[in-house]
Amino acid sequence: MVEHRSIPSSTIVSLRPPKKQEQQQETTRKKKNPFQHLIAGGIAGFVESSCCHPLDTIKTRMQLRRQLAVSRTALGHKMCPKSPEAIKGAVTASLGPIGTATRIIKREGFFSLYKGLSAVYTGIVPKMAIRFFSFEKYTETLKSAWGGSDGANNKFITFFAGLGSGLTEAILVVTPAEVCKIRLQSQYNSMIDPKQMLNRKYRNVLQTASLIVREEGLGALYKGILPTMMRQGINQAANFSCYQYFKRKIIEIQDGKELKSWQQFIAGGVSGAFGPMINNPLDVIKTRIQRQVIHANHEPKYKGLIQGCTIIAKEEGFLALWKGLTPRLLRIVPGQAITFMIYEFVVSKMNQI
């Protein structure tokens, strides 16, 4: 009996190490292949930006549009239609995403919807690499500091790792790329008229970056860094937390089976919706600050986060802080769905090599 009892106990002991060894192999594989995140994230970002960039251009134009007449009426100030103040207002009626897209295509040509795409391509590979790689590194660091990978701590680890990855990408890549992208997107030049194409100020991302530095100084590439950091931090904290939660739940329902591509697509899309709904005012003021051209002895209109939000709310109404939310959601939701699906697909294929 004694020998018979010792057999299952030894069997149980012998069954446990392989699981730990598999986990160690997975973690060491991740540690040994940091370029896996670069390649997978870069491919995912390239596909996502190619599909969804027109929606980002529409969002930017909507956020830059001023609606003085409408906003003053909303604030209780009646304006005469022929008054200089009313005439000065760029637009007196709201244009939705479809109306904005139609207006851009009619005035500037279809490919104007892809303005600033070169800036996105230039920054997308390092941004995605930094996002996913730093998320893994922050996760490992927090797990070793807090101890354990399961339980209540796991939720906080994912949240703070996502927050850290968002802040990191904002500082290293996103802010200067966004400044160049917004300058390119905000140009109201027609891509049909050759004369306007020749006379446009900003031509491509490298020329735009060098021109901004020459005219406004190197610091101009980091205009709006605070709202950008806050936006990216909130986005990635919500994004990774929600995606990991949905992924865990789906795996539990499927008795441990990994997610299929369409499940990754849905989980990524739903996860991407939470951040923008919370932090859209940060995106609006970021866009306004980065659009400004700084001249010597000229004080910019939007100086900072709180002051800028206050001016927008006072002049255009409180709801102006949520301008561009619809195209932003239309841009980010499918964008995150594509990103997570492609990223998971590339990683799984690379692990098979």
Parse the chain into domains and list their residue ranges: 36-352
Identify the pLDDT of residue 194.
Answer: 65
pLDDT tens digits, one per residue of 298-317: 888 898 889 999 999 999 99
Please work out, in degrees rounded to the nearest 5, the angle formed at the alpha carbon of residue 343 by the alpha carbons of 56 and 48. Answer: 20
167-182: b (≥16 Cβ within 10 Å) or e:
bbbbbebbbbbbbbbb
Mean pLDDT (the chain, rounded): 79
Which two structure tokens, joined as six digits, stand for 156?
């906080």
Residue 39, pLDDT > 90, answer: no
Integer Cα distance of 57 and 177 in angstroms:
14
Quick check: 160 pLDDT over 90?
Answer: yes
Angstrom distance (rounded) from CA 325 to CA 278: 10
Q: Which fold has domain 36-352?
A: Mitochondrial carrier fold (1.50.40)
Residue 57, pLDDT > 70, answer: yes
